[in-house]
Amino acid sequence: MNKAQLVDAVTQATGDRAHATLAVEAVLDAMVRAVVAGETVSVTGFGSLTPEMRPARTARNPQTGQPVELTARRVVRFRPGARFKQLVAGGRVMPDSGICIRKDPKTPNPARP
């Protein structure tokens, strides 16, 4: 799915393409700005984006086998949330409608009055 397809999916939920485009772009912009600033972005059920520092190291060029020096750099790591992992692995059934990463509603405990 690319950005245009994401906007289309949000448009189906909201009914207005202009507002859907603005919403998608605003969310993505806020996430990128937070990660660039060194913050972790966590979306419950979906996952988290974490900036990490990779140390300098020596790698090998796979074509020639020659060593190549790589400098230290910042990278972004994505860790999928538990619900997301369960859906992908088949441990949970994808709902036909509604929001698939929303938490299950709390069921009343019959043992508690």
For 33-49, what is each residue's pLDDT tens digit?
A: 999 999 999 998 899 99
Tell whether the model's pLDDT for residue 65 goes beyond 80. Answer: yes
CATH of domain 3-89: 4.10.520.10
Note the pLDDT of residue 91.
84
Sheet holding 41-43, edge to edge: 41-43, 47-54, 73-80
Give one DSSP letter per residue of 33-90, joined into a string. Answer: HHHHTT--EEETTTEEEEEEEEPPEEEE-TTT--EEEE--EEEEEEEE-HHHHHHHHT
CB 45, CB 39: distance < 8 Å: no
The pairing of strands 73-80 and 47-54 is antiparallel
pLDDT in tens, 89-100: 988 888 887 788
> Which pLDDT score is estimated for 26?
96
Instruction: Tell me the pLDDT of the chain averaged across its residues.
Output: 90
Question: Model-level pTM?
Answer: 0.75
- The answer to whether residue 61 scores a pLDDT higher than 70 is yes
